[in-house]
Structure 1
């Protein structure tokens, strides 16, 4: 199934339970646009204007690079009225009033690329917006420029920052070119956080269209047919939208533009030659038959020097959720008239092999040395690529195909066949059905999900790679990575603020708590728990270790601020630690942000991207807080003391008390609690609170309560952190419009529980037969191990009460074995009859700490009366010595 990029925001997902829409939250700064959205390195942008909401008294801008600094342009202090000198003038403004203007200076050593900028005010930090640093002169679009006589003249190798101010707005620019010059026109919108879908076109003086392209980032080029002037036209594609949020950066350049790189991955820390495909590649040569959007491409071989750490993602461009788990680094080509756009080059996990044609048929399959990573391409219409690898019986490989996650807009698939049966698919893999979030971090991809292949027998196997759109999407840009590698379980983390539908930053209040949502990209079968922690939190901020449970795709991470915590605005570092193959593995979380708000409960995924850093603000005291008391939790009855950390079996319910503290008079209102979930349907979580439904409200005059944690019978064993969110309607003043109820939220302090199996084995017990008095008999105990338990078992026979004359010793079944014999012993005077309801108890120590006992089905045992003793024959007297002597004499003679 092909992904339609323009319609992504219209995807309707499975409906969630209907909830009444709550009033908006208290003021939080939200940054919609920054104009201009960039500047040249080594220059000062005299005036940068912000638009957004709740930007009251925005007094600073915080950039993700220390070399970019801003100074607020504050209106002058009002002067006394000369007609009434005694009249007191209004106080001087604390920050710029709308449209909130700043002077921005970019240091000369700031490299070209996208950086994040956030507004800072009394409410906290805003969400980020992209601020682009370039290496070409920059100008602002000047209106009117809608008609040819008003066209704004641009010099070549210039970037113009403009806005499509209305749906029908058309911006015309006039450039001068010499015959034969190849001029690239790159109109960026999506990659700089704009809503625009620009259409960029080039016309000559006779209104003949020479080139054009539309898209989220529209790029085209033309070769000037003669010396003279040419019109560049920019508009919103379909002419249906416009406004301050529809800004763009149009670069008109004779410098380089990279359309593709091959191979798209290299081995870390190893200098490697790659081939660039693009336009105006200095030193490059035309590539016969290579096109991008109908424009001919050049190629150039360059050497890249990748970093040695293969777990990092260093890229100053746009990364969408589907690629959030990728690793790689940025490459740009410098030319005589500017630096190219960035391209992301990935890190290979195994030896890189380049595709070699012909390999379009099974009998032409290219032999590859598994484990390896193949760099391939859909070169021609209908292209299919076949590869062959050898495997021993029982040998396991992970087959993973990357295309969409590389930014290639096509729908790849692969099939696996045995070489001896080249017409029969063993498996076909298409779109990956798994996503990390249905709304907040919509990571859906058209790449196939990774396939774990185990060879049923020794021999050669074939992998076919193709695309659903191979009939019309092909060429240098349609590249892919095919990994046929040994399993390497691993994970990557992405963290973002709590709101599932609004762009925002995380703002903690003193004596309060808030949470982040953390998502886990799991790979190569890794299902273990991941422990989350914040490294070096700001003063007064605490974050106890919390866990993404086994096989879970995400969790909430609670941070708390002490009552003494002071104002803070800055980055924090979040890391996850897990045990992989018995060794600790640590991964730093990547940050993400929602770009544009969506209506709550609309089941529409947000537009989201990775950002440069995970940011945190601390502001004034919280209105209320809710503190869980896991130390007072109980399974059966209140007052029961449970050992810490809390442990519960599958199917059990655990009651946790909590306390509510209201620190402000406005907080004497009802408080509602509900479990936080990173999945769309919290009822499907393995460990739930109140089945994922809201708890009964805590009345204004109450200060305590309880909630019940339930581990479902099929919950995977492991640690889980349970987080609840508390909400209350508290009056807040917003933008001088008086106080209105606002939905104030506070995270409840987290509770971590360890779920253990309800059983470690399925037990069957089979008596060898009836047990006779005074004798023994074997009871065969067989086990079917469960929950990956491989340790020792203690086996005990439980007899009915008041059983007399029958006993059995306890035995042990050693680690790795599945059968044992319990010896039944009956006394000689054991009463005859049937013993009913016997069972065998088998106990194992789960994780070496928790004793888990499993019982066999009950069975009966018949005890028979001891057999009567046998009669003894009289003993014969031995012959006398004399008689014996007489008998011996004849023998001697």
Structure 2
């Protein structure tokens, strides 16, 4: 009985336990493919750990060996055919899903760094073809010793910044027995702050490997994975792209030269696609562009206008070449048509090439249509431009390096495309400086979770529908369509109450409703891998959405279905009700996920602790479309040890034409303490029964205005306005009339006469009274003696005038 009771209590409190786990780090940060090894995951809120969610196939959690709130120990197996390089992984607990972290697959076994190895004489001995897992503390230098044969290649590659912990800038070097640096690397074009280098041994015996922070800094989170082996590390591939579904012969170019290979191009575009050589593959791949364009490869000589390669006419072009020597430039002759609008991208640094491309496109007269240097996005030194062709004819495209440099590594790929039909979607960033926040679906049993998806369309119209293949058991997608005229839509998933805890990485797509439309919409979600405040050092783009089922949430939300429509230029108070589990009293943050065009609302409200509801005021403008809209809100609450999300079901909110409208009334001037009248004509757009109530809104409390009642027969709105003697004089602007119209189910609230105003004046001052006129006295019969004149008042002279008079008197004497 007691064990059963304990189980029941555990189930009842499951929704109140840890949620949204924090995945701080793992050790090691990767493993050898084809191996099985121990992995420790650290973080917070891990006590209900379930498993790891890898985005890519080839990873298996063999066992969970120990679980605590701050650490989990596991056994991991990596398949022999797992792709080398970086992979995304998240922690899934019974109640939440973490942010992703990078996890690396290496061709070599992992060797842990062991202190002391901070001095040359303390170098840690390691076998060739090893991956060292280590950390650089402040002013730390790590030394390793490896034995090689004369003529044998010794290569290094370090994963530091790419591990995703912080802005770590590692420096690596190969030293001989006399401590001379034979090869070194700080930054690279391909891996930014993560370096690589190679050296051919000059003698049999020991060489030394050094790793440190480039400025002798370091920290407790300056982790690295240093690959030490005989692999070839290409800087770049030529050509650096190919057509979907094709096979392309390529050359892998490194510091020692180049070697051949063949690339099988996937059948779908992938912005993160990398290729590896079959010969001694490096620990990470090289970027490779996938497009629907046939390749054109430059043919030397083409360094002058007269030697320009003639490119066969096409609607789109992919020009591949190398600026092979300093001062080199490549020229191409293109046949273009009047009115063509072309978008050009010169890909170089994004491919690992040191080229800083400068592009020119000139007409037959030699006049430049465009000349572009930088502007290629995150790798800003790559070129990007748009041009409209002014006339039919041949045009000359040239490309060179900005500083006229050149070498066999200066590979480029110029893609010239007409505006192609394209549809992508992504969620906005929900939190400043955290691009990962809420960028997943963790659906509670019996609940829902929603994301807002913004659409980006290029020459695409028509209705689309969301498709999410491979959902976890018990989960369904409730969002059906993405209408052609909508800029965004809510993506809502629901889990059955008995759905098993589970997970999947789902390639959510948008498929056209019209079978004649062949465009497929794809998720393109950008993430920051390393960010320090507003500075972004490393990013990633994903086209799949992690979806998991978690334990039941301790609350549920529901939007109370409106009984009346939201009218044009109207408002409606939309109520959200929370249903809480016993004992759960925490405040709930309620987020309005989406509103249709023409409807505005405050983005979020809070249901206070212990309360059960909140209200959003919806406001519709005059242009809102009459339709039935699916509204949804998302809840976020602290379940005691982390955030728990749960969304409401869809709720239909109807928008429609207003019943009445009115223009702003002419401004009236009313004195303080006096009563005046404002009036405007009212127009009935839809019939209604009964009496509507109109109120003039926006005046201060010192102005008395009584509401009025109108009917469908009313033709004007007239208000008696009386400012008090204490009312501050001046213009009272931005007034409107609120009209509550009775309809079946309640009243609809209209806002009409928008932008009206009233002026309050101070009382006018009365004109001053005239002085009484004295009555003239009749003259006396006898003449009277005139009175003596009063002496004149003395004139007050200024000191200057006194001195002048004194000077004049002295002159007379």
TM-score range (shorter-chain normalised) is 0.5 to 0.7
Aligned to 2:397: 463
Select which of 150, 163, 178 maps to 2:149.
178
Q: CA deviation at 1:389?
A: 1.7
Aligned to 1:423: 367
Matched position secondary structure for 1:186: strand
Whole-angstrom distance in 2 between the partners of 1:273 and 1:389:
24
Whole-angstrom distance in 1 between the partners of 2:304 and 2:652:
55
Cα 1:597–1:751 change in 2 (3 A) is farther
Q: State whether structure 2 residue 292 is matched by structure 1 residue 333.
A: no
Q: CA deviation at 1:333?
A: 1.7
Whole-angstrom distance in 1 between the partners of 2:243 and 2:628:
36
Contact 1:626–1:658 (8 Å) recurs in 2: no
Aligned to 1:484: 416
Contact 2:344–2:386 (8 Å) recurs in 1: yes
Q: State whether structure 2 residue 606 is matched by structure 1 residue 689.
A: no
**Worse-matched range after superposition: 558-567 or 28-37:** 558-567
Select which of 448, 468, 472 maps to 1:513.
448
Matches within 5 A, 1:683-722: 689-690=600-601, 694=604, 701=611, 703=613, 705-708=615-618, 710=620
Contact 1:633–1:657 (8 Å) recurs in 2: no
Matches within 5 A, 1:298-337: 298-307=257-266, 309=267, 311-313=268-270, 326=271, 329-335=273-279
Whole-angstrom distance in 2 between the partners of 1:724 and 1:604:
32
Whole-angstrom distance in 1 between the partners of 2:347 and 2:482:
26
Q: CA deviation at 1:575?
A: 1.3
Matched position secondary structure for 1:239: coil
Matches within 5 A, 1:431-446: 431=375
Deviations 1:312-335 (CA, angstroms, capped at 9, x unpaired): 42xxxxxxxxxxxx37x5432233
Deviations 1:292-342 (CA, angstroms, capped at 9, x unpaired): xxxx331123333323x2x242xxxxxxxxxxxx37x5432233x666632
Q: State whether structure 2 residue 301 is matched by structure 1 residue 355.
A: no
Select which of 580, 593, 616 maps to 1:663.
580
Contact 1:656–1:706 (8 Å) recurs in 2: yes
Aligned to 1:828: none
Q: State whether structure 2 residue 183 is matched by structure 1 residue 193.
A: no
Whole-angstrom distance in 1 between the partners of 2:233 and 2:657:
57
Whole-angstrom distance in 1 between the partners of 2:571 and 2:468:
28
Contact 1:146–1:172 (8 Å) recurs in 2: yes
Which structure 2 residue ranges, 5 or more long, are not aligned?
1-16, 188-192, 659-813
Contact 1:378–1:470 (8 Å) recurs in 2: no
Whole-angstrom distance in 2 between the partners of 1:457 and 1:537:
52
Matched position secondary structure for 1:230: strand
Whole-angstrom distance in 2 between the partners of 1:711 and 1:427:
45
Whole-angstrom distance in 2 between the partners of 1:717 and 1:297:
68
Deviations 1:646-686 (CA, angstroms, capped at 9, x unpaired): xx8xxx66757343122235655665545458xxxx9xx96
Select which of 729, 733, 740 maps to 2:640.
733
Q: State whether structure 2 residue 97 is matched by structure 1 residue 125.
A: yes
Q: State whether structure 2 residue 28 is matched by structure 1 residue 39.
A: no
Q: For this pair of structures, how many residues does the alignment match?
A: 631
Aligned to 1:267: 243
Cα 1:262–1:515 change in 2 (3 A) is same
Whole-angstrom distance in 2 between the partners of 1:750 and 1:607:
37
Max Rg structure: 2
Aligned to 1:545: 479
Whole-angstrom distance in 1 between the partners of 2:328 and 2:56:
44
Q: CA deviation at 1:146?
A: 0.9
Cα 1:709–1:696 change in 2 (3 A) is farther
Contact 2:503–2:547 (8 Å) recurs in 1: yes
Contact 2:153–2:231 (8 Å) recurs in 1: no
Deviations 1:371-424 (CA, angstroms, capped at 9, x unpaired): 22111334344554443322333445443433455455665453433222x134
Deviations 1:807-844 (CA, angstroms, capped at 9, x unpaired): xxxxxxxxxxxxxxxxxxxxxxxxxxxxxxxxxxxxxx
Select which of 504, 509, 512 maps to 1:575.
509
Deviations 1:63-113 (CA, angstroms, capped at 9, x unpaired): 4456433344646xxxxxxxxxxxxxxxxxxx2575432222334454544
Matches within 5 A, 1:369-448: 369-371=312-314, 372-381=317-326, 383-408=328-353, 412=357, 414-420=359-365, 422-425=366-369, 428=372, 430-431=374-375, 447-448=382-383
Q: CA deviation at 1:721?
A: 7.8
Cα 1:183–1:544 change in 2 (3 A) is same
Aligned to 2:118: 146
Cα 1:484–1:162 change in 2 (3 A) is same
Deviations 1:201-244 (CA, angstroms, capped at 9, x unpaired): 1222222121111233210112223233221111122233322x
Q: State whether structure 2 residue 621 is matched by structure 1 residue 621.
A: no
Whole-angstrom distance in 2 between the partners of 1:672 and 1:709:
21
Cα 1:333–1:52 change in 2 (3 A) is same
Aligned to 2:45: 54
**Worse-matched range after superposition: 482-491 or 503-512:** 503-512
Whole-angstrom distance in 2 between the partners of 1:464 and 1:554:
40
Contact 1:686–1:711 (8 Å) recurs in 2: no
Matched position secondary structure for 1:149: helix
Q: State whether structure 2 residue 195 is matched by structure 1 residue 218.
A: yes
Deviations 1:552-588 (CA, angstroms, capped at 9, x unpaired): 8866523233444442233334112347995143345
**Worse-matched range after superposition: 131-140 or 380-389:** 380-389
Contact 1:711–1:755 (8 Å) recurs in 2: no
Select which of 138, 150, 157 maps to 1:167.
138
Whole-angstrom distance in 1 between the partners of 2:73 and 2:599:
48
Deviations 1:342-385 (CA, angstroms, capped at 9, x unpaired): 22322232221112345455555433224221113343445544
Cα 1:152–1:359 change in 2 (3 A) is same
Cα 1:586–1:618 change in 2 (3 A) is same
Matched position secondary structure for 1:191: helix
Whole-angstrom distance in 2 between the partners of 1:502 and 1:688:
27
Contact 1:59–1:96 (8 Å) recurs in 2: no
Q: CA deviation at 1:549?
A: 7.4
Matched position secondary structure for 1:248: strand
Contact 2:25–2:43 (8 Å) recurs in 1: yes
Matches within 5 A, 1:833-844: none
RMSD of aligned C-alpha atoms?
4.3
Select which of 199, 222, 227 maps to 1:251.
227
Aligned to 2:699: none
Aligned to 1:882: none
Matched position secondary structure for 2:299: coil
Whole-angstrom distance in 2 between the partners of 1:451 and 1:579:
32
Whole-angstrom distance in 2 between the partners of 1:752 and 1:167:
59
Contact 2:261–2:278 (8 Å) recurs in 1: no
The two structures have a TM-score, normalised by structure 1, of 0.62
Select which of 190, 210, 228 maps to 1:233.
210
Whole-angstrom distance in 1 between the partners of 2:380 and 2:654:
33
Q: CA deviation at 1:508?
A: 2.2
Whole-angstrom distance in 2 between the partners of 1:52 and 1:261:
39
Matched position secondary structure for 1:179: coil
Cα 1:498–1:541 change in 2 (3 A) is farther
Contact 1:494–1:519 (8 Å) recurs in 2: yes
The two structures have a TM-score, normalised by structure 2, of 0.67
Q: CA deviation at 1:606?
A: 8.2
Contact 1:497–1:516 (8 Å) recurs in 2: no
Contact 1:490–1:580 (8 Å) recurs in 2: no
Whole-angstrom distance in 2 between the partners of 1:221 and 1:720:
61
